[in-house]
Amino acid sequence: MKFLTSTFAGFLLLASIVQATGIAPNQIKNFVTFGDSYTDIVNIGDGGTAWPVYASGYANVSLFPFAKSGATCSNNLTNRPFPSVFESQLPTYFEETSNRSLKLNPLETIYTLWIGTNDLGESALLTGDDAASLVEVTTCMINWVKVLYESGARNFIFQNMIPLQHTILYSSTGYYTKFWTFPRNSTSWSVSMTELTLSGNDLTQLKLQALLPQIPGAHVAHFDSHSLFQDMFDNPSQYLNGTAPLNVTGCINSCVFQVNEPDSGVCTLVNGTDRDSYLWYDELHPSEQADRIVAREMALVMEGKTSKWATWLS
């Protein structure tokens, strides 16, 4: 009986996802972004043009960026000296909407969050430098939807975390970088990061689905950044188009350090069209070409079209 009940519940959940229609074509006019350096359009992580700029152009929508480099979901969970989503980005957004300097029609506006890289990584969960748990961090991510919904927002894209173990910083064969020069076990880091991203992504998806009954009238899309980047890693010829040999294990802006020597970096930089042959810009951030792919798929979602990497949950 327990098996039958569980199976029936699973069928109901699947049916609800299948029936979800999301937004209508040409509905979205405004795009509001939250997150970290993967999304920041000022302190740009990919060394070129940030993906939200590309996406807003592809979808012909107005961009309102709040993401900030170095951010975590909450500094109360992951104590970093950067403008987090809950202590900085959301308050800035609410201040602008309150003083009417930002006026957005909620039916024509879609909100996105791409966060987690700094929450899970070095000087955070991976290295045990904060007291938070993965459960608390993922709950914070989902609360972003709830808080914005309560303020009147209705359309959301939730972007999950990429397979960070493929970045040089967290690879089993990674070298010492500007991001970390202390001794480490690279294999242990890679295994742990694999588990953290997979578990975190599963938790956020389950929490999103559990939240849906509490946010009637909302349209929530789950954007599977993890699977998209895994596919780019596995099949680079389908995504990368530069003039150098395709490369998913190196990076455009590489700086190799000696352990315990933070001033020892020896850097090399790839220039011109060769850059588009790389999946990674530096040891932690996607390349501009990879971000163009993210922008293309996100634009499809905003346009009410089908993306292989996005699923409307409501």
Whole-number pLDDT of residue 3: 39
Question: Residue 71 has which token pair?
Answer: 């951010």
- pLDDT of 9 higher than 50: no
Quick: pLDDT tens for 58-107. 999 999 999 999 999 999 999 899 999 999 999 999 999 999 999 999 99
For the chain, the C-alpha Rg in angstroms (whole number) is 20
Contacts of 169 (CB under 8 A, 6+ apart): 121, 122, 177, 179, 180, 283, 284
Count of other CB atoms within 10 angstroms of residue 36: 29
Q: Contact 137/73 with Cβ under 8 angstroms?
A: yes
Quick: pLDDT tens for 144-158. 999 999 999 999 999
Whole-number pLDDT of residue 19: 53
pTM: 0.93
Q: Contact 197/141 with Cβ under 8 angstroms?
A: no
- pLDDT of 13 higher than 70: no
Q: Contact 22/28 with Cβ under 8 angstroms?
A: no
Core vs surface per residue 58-73: b (16+ CB within 10 A) or e = bbebebbbbbbbebbb
Of the pLDDT bands very low, low, confident and very high (cuts 50, 70, 90), residue 23 is very high
| Mean of pLDDT over the chain | 94
Q: What average pLDDT does range 15-27 have in this prediction? A: 74
Domains of the chain: 21-306 (3.40.50.1110)
Of the pLDDT bands very low, low, confident and very high (cuts 50, 70, 90), residue 7 is very low
